[in-house]
C-alpha cells in the first residue's frame, strides 16, 4: 500500500478545493495522491497522479489497492459512484464521498455492506455539508442528554450559499428518479436488520413556529443519515426520533421555498425542461471565492429527553464548497490517522469517527456550541 489517502475528482470544482485543503492542512508526512482520468488537469497539484476512470473497473481496483482511504468527489454518484464503492469494499479500503443522494446510499448498502463488513472496509457516504453538520451535531446534542431515556431532536437549518454545476446536475438527476428512490428505500429496509430492543428513526415533521422561525420539513438525505447513526449507536437511547427542518424568517419565504422546490421536482420529470435547466450551470463551474466568502450555515438542534432540554448549534462558512472540502478532507484524514472505534461496512460519520472528527472540524474552524441546558 503506497498512500494514506487518494483523492479522486480533484479536477472538478469541489475536488480541487479538497486538494487545496489537504495541501494546506494535511500533516507533512501524510502520503497522499490525486487520481482521475485527465493527467494534465491533475498535475497542477504537484502530487503523484494515479490513472482512474470510473468506467474502467481495473483502474479502480488498482486505486483501491494503493491506499488506506479513497475520497471521491465524482458525481452524480448514482451515475458514477458504484464501481468505486465495489472496488473499496472488495479491497478492504476505507471510502468517503460527498453524496447527498438517498437512492445511491440505499443501493450501496444492499449491494456492498456485507462485503465491506467481511473485508473491514469502512464505507462512509455523505461526508460534506450533506450530512456532517447534522450527523455530528445530533450526536453532540445526544451526548448532553441523560442516558437510556427516549430522546427527540429537531434540527433547524439556516443557510446562504450557491450551488456548483456538479451539485445542480446531481440534484436534478436525483429529483428525476422518484420511483427508483422509493424502490431502493424499500430494498434497504428489507435488508438492514433493526436494532434489538430499541427504536431509532427520523420522523416527518409539520410546518410550525420554533426558535423564532418558521420550521419547514426538509426532505434531504440528512434525516436518513442521522437515523442510521441512531440505529448503529446504543447511546441514542431506547426510542430516538429526529425531525429535520429549514428555518425560515417569514411566510413569504416559506411559500417561495416550497414553490421553488416543487418547480425543480416537476421540471426534473420532463427531459427537455431538465436539460434546459442543466445547460444554465455547467459542470466544473461553481461560486467564486467572493461569493463563497459571503456564504454561511447555522444548524440549531433542540434535544429533549429525561426531563432535560438542550439547545446546541453547529455553524460554519460556505457550506457547499469551502466547508465541504474541509469536511471531506478531515474525514479522510480521520479514517487514515486517528484511533477510532472498530467499525466496518456502510457506516456514518458519527458511528465511525464521532468525537474524533468533531474535534478535527472544531480545530479547523467549524463551531459546535451548547447554547442552553434546562429542565422541563
Ligand X SMILES: NC(=O)c1ccc[n+]([C@@H]2O[C@H](COP(=O)([O-])OP(=O)(O)OC[C@H]3O[C@@H](n4cnc5c(N)ncnc54)[C@H](OP(=O)(O)O)[C@@H]3O)[C@@H](O)[C@H]2O)c1
Give the nearest distance from C-beta 45 to ligand X in angstroms: 12
Give the nearest distance from C-beta 283 to ligand X in angstroms: 3
Looking only at Cα atoms, what is the longest distance across the chain?
61
Given the complex with ligand X, which of 141 and 170 has the nearer CB atom?
A: 170
Question: Which conformational region is residue 212 in: left (phi greater than 0), alpha (psi within -120 to 50 degrees), or beta?
Answer: left
List, edge to edge, every strand of the sheet that includes 67-72: 49-51, 32-36, 3-8, 67-72, 94-97, 122-124, 345-347
Given the complex with ligand X, which of 112 and 297 has the nearer CB atom?
A: 297
Please state, as a whole number, how many other Cβ atoms lie within 10 Å of the Cβ of residue 38: 12
Backbone angles phi, psi at 12, to 5 degrees: -90, 180
What SS3 state is found at 335?
helix
Given the complex with ligand X, which of 80 and 240 has the nearer CB atom?
A: 80
Nine-digit cell at 6?
Answer: 487518494
> Site residues (CB under 6 A) for ligand X?
9, 11-15, 36-38, 41, 53-55, 73-77, 80, 98, 100, 128-130, 164-167, 170, 283-284, 286, 320, 324
Given the complex with ligand X, which of 226 and 302 has the nearer CB atom?
A: 226
Q: Cβ contacts of residue 92 below 8 Å, gap of 6+?
A: 116, 119, 120, 121
Give the nearest distance from C-beta 84 to ligand X in angstroms: 9
Give the nearest distance from C-beta 153 to ligand X in angstroms: 20
Give the nearest distance from C-beta 14 to ligand X in angstroms: 3
Give the nearest distance from C-beta 322 to ligand X in angstroms: 10
Given the complex with ligand X, which of 100 and 303 has the nearer CB atom?
A: 100
What SS3 state is found at 367?
strand
Given the complex with ligand X, which of 240 and 323 has the nearer CB atom?
A: 323
CB of 210 within 8 A of CB of 245?
A: yes
Amino acid at each position: 500500500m503506497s498512500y494514506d489517502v487518494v483523492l479522486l475528482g480533484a479536477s472538478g470544482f469541489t475536488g480541487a478545493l479538497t486538494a487545496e485543503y489537504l495541501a494546506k492542512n494535511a500533516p507533512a508526512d501524510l502520503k497522499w495522491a490525486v487520481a482521475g482520468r485527465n493527467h494534465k488537469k491533475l498535475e497542477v497539484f504537484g502530487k503523484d497522479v494515479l490513472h482512474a476512470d470510473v468506467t474502467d473497473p481495473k483502474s479502480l481496483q488498482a486505486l483501491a489497492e494503493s491506499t488506506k482511504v479513497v475520497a471521491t468527489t465524482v458525481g452524480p454518484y448514482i451515475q458514477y459512484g458504484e464501481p468505486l464503492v465495489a472496488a473499496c469494499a472488495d479491497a478492504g479500503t476505507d471510502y468517503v464521498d460527498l453524496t447527498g443522494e438517498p437512492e445511491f446510499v440505499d443501493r450501496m448498502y444492499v449491494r456492498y455492506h456485507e462485503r465491506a463488513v467481511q473485508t473491514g472496509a469502512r464505507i462512509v457516504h455523505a461526508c460534506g455539508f450533506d450530512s456532517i453538520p447534522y450527523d455530528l451535531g445530533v450526536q453532540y446534542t445526544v451526548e448532553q442528554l441523560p442516558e437510556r431515556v427516549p430522546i427527540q431532536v429537531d434540527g433547524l437549518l439556516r443557510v446562504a450559499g450557491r450551488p456548483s454545476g456538479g451539485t445542480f446536475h446531481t440534484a436534478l438527476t436525483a429529483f428525476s428518479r422518484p420511483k427508483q428512490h422509493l424502490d431502493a428505500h424499500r430494498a434497504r429496509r428489507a435488508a438492514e436488520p433493526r436494532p434489538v430492543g430499541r427504536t431509532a428513526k427520523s420522523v416527518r415533521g409539520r410546518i410550525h413556529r420554533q426558535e423564532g422561525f418558521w420550521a419547514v420539513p426538509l426532505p434531504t438525505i440528512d434525516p436518513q443519515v442521522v437515523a442510521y447513526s441512531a440505529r448503529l449507536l446504543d447511546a441514542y437511547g431506547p426510542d430516538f426520533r429526529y425531525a429535520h427542518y429549514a428555518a425560515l424568517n417569514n411566510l413569504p419565504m416559506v411559500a417561495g421555498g416550497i414553490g421553488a422546490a416543487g418547480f425543480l421536482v416537476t421540471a426534473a420529470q420532463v427531459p427537455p425542461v431538465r436539460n434546459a435547466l442543466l445547460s444554465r450551470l455547467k459542470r466544473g463551474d461553481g461560486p467564486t471565492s467572493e461569493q463563497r466568502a459571503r456564504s454561511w450555515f447555522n444548524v440549531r438542534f433542540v434535544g429533549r429527553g429525561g426531563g432535560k432540554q438542550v439547545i446546541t448549534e453547529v455553524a460554519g462558512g460556505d457550506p457547499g464548497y469551502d466547508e465541504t472540502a474541509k469536511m471531506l478532507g478531515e474525514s479522510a484524514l480521520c479514517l487514515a490517522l486517528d484511533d477510532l472505534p472498530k467499525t466496518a461496512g456502510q457506516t456514518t460519520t458519527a458511528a465511525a469517527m464521532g468525537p474524533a472528527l468533531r474535534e478535527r472540524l472544531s480545530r479547523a474552524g467549524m463551531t459546535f456550541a451548547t447554547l442552553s441546558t434546562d429542565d422541563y
